Amino acid sequence: MIKEILKWRPVAIGVAMVLTLYVISDIISGITLVLPTFLLAGIAVGFIINETEKNGAINGAILGLIGGVIVNGILISMMYLQGYGDYLVSIISTCLIYLVLEIVIAAVGGVFGSLIRCEFDKSEMEEFEASED
């Protein structure tokens, strides 16, 4: 049952999107776009899986969990290497809040992506029926 719900390839594509945009936005330019990145990746995952909103939310949440752990791990290690080791407990607690936010935002993005895919398929079906007439 889990194999039918979870689509690992779209989740991996979403994690790659999150990591790429995180490196570009936060590390290179200094402007953090982490939360919009999770929304964008969640929309992409929900669109790619082409299933119900529930499956879009589940796959988006898995994307948020995996991507959030990786991104927050990078963030914690960067803060530690910059000399903020004394504040590690507060940094970790803040990153846990970020992790919850990232999971929720990616799940919402998965639902949005599934809804966009449903509307996309409906419009294609209407165009196909109109061309047959």
| Contact assessment for residue 35 and residue 25, using Cβ atoms and an 8 Å cutoff | no
pLDDT tens readout for residues 95-133: 999 999 999 999 999 999 999 998 888 877 777 777 776
Between 40 and 31, name the one with better pLDDT. 40
Q: Which two tokens stand for residue 27?
A: 């590390």
> In this predicted structure, what is the pLDDT of residue 133?
60
Domain ranges of the chain: 2-132
Supply the DSSP string of 19-74, one letter for each residue: HHHHIIIIIISS---HHHHHHHHHHHHHHHH-S-HHHHHHHHHHHHHHHHHHHHHH
Question: For helices 8-22 and 34-49, what crossing angle results, to 10°?
Answer: 160
The pTM of the full predicted model, rounded to 2 decimals, is 0.85
> In this predicted structure, what is the pLDDT of residue 87?
86
